[in-house]
Structure 1
Amino acid sequence: MSAAWLYPLILIAGALQAWGPPMNGALREAVTNPWLASTISFLPVVAFMGLLFLCMPRPFPTADGVAGMPWWAPLGGIVGSFAVICGLIFVNKVGAGAFAGLTITANILMSLLIDHFGMFGMEQHSLNLWRVLGGALMVAGVALVALF
């Protein structure tokens, strides 16, 4: 079965991600404290995920699965929270376009390294001229967005 039907959903998810930093920036402006704003921002996510788990509690993890989990696996949320906190604090200073461009470009460049080295259990996809060129074009594009 082709995964092509996933691409529209992924594009929608990416478009919705652009809403997060400006919404969080408005939240920070309203409550002033960026740490309180971060907490408020995460509470609906925790509530929503908790509700989904209550509605669909299976499958449960196995003891072998948990025991075999890499130490860094549960830290993805903390890593992601750094981007949320940066959005809360900085999006109003640099603008939504520059903020999104910088974070997306940094994401692409780091993803190229993750792919190249097969980090975090990912299948290895070696760097080649076209992938490097794509990363360079991202850098050039975000420079244009940020500067103008």
Structure 2
Amino acid sequence: MQNMSASVLYPLILIAGALQAWGPPMNGVLRNSLTNPWLASLVSFLPIVAFLACLWLCVPRPFPTLEGVSAMPWWAPLGGLVGAFAVVAGLLFVNKVGAGAFAGLTITANILMSLMIDRYGWFGMEVHPLNGWRILGAMLMVGGISLIARF
């Protein structure tokens, strides 16, 4: 996977992004059907846990090393919890604002935060300087989602 070229990676990432747009509306229906948003969140995560458990059982190696686990920052395992916040927000709010506005707001916020992560190298990421083109892109995202959310 590490040696995959951008010509293969970018289409896969675009497909993943397109599929991500399905999640909040699907979870909104799940929440309406189950009434309780916390139960809906749990039901939403169960297939993920089952799928990943099956994958791990089929391909259990490589095992983590003691050195790797010891060197892991305290916050590293919290990525799933951070993602759960987005799932719960989708369960609660996508039906109120619409799929386009919800996705646009979350993606725009994601881009803005990602630019900060790149700029400062947070979470062990390689630093990518903030330049005029990146700022322009961020401004266009904000302008675009403003139009989508308003109309």
User: Structure 2 length normalisation: TM-score?
Assistant: 0.97
Unaligned runs of 5+ in 2: none
Q: CA deviation at 1:113?
A: 0.1
Percent of counterpart pairs with the same letter?
74
- Decide which of 15, 28, 33 is 1:30's aligned counterpart: 33
Task: State how far apart, in whole Å, the 1-side matches of 2:119 and 2:30 are.
Answer: 38
Equivalent in the alignment of 2:22 = 19
Equivalent in the alignment of 2:123 = 120
- Decide which of 54, 64, 68 is 1:65's aligned counterpart: 68
Unaligned runs of 5+ in 1: none
- Decide which of 137, 143, 147 is 2:146's aligned counterpart: 143
Aligned length: 148
Task: State how far apart, in whole Å, the 2-side matches of 1:18 and 1:68 are.
Answer: 35
Task: State how far apart, in whole Å, the 1-side matches of 2:38 and 2:15 are.
Answer: 28
Task: State how far apart, in whole Å, the 2-side matches of 1:22 and 1:117 are.
Answer: 34
Question: Aligned-pair RMSD on alpha carbons?
Answer: 0.7
Helix, strand or coil for the counterpart of 1:57? coil
Which of structure 1's runs of 4+ aligned residues deviate more than 2 A? 1-4
Helix, strand or coil for the counterpart of 2:25? helix
Equivalent in the alignment of 1:39 = 42
Task: State how far apart, in whole Å, the 1-side matches of 2:77 and 2:136 are.
Answer: 33
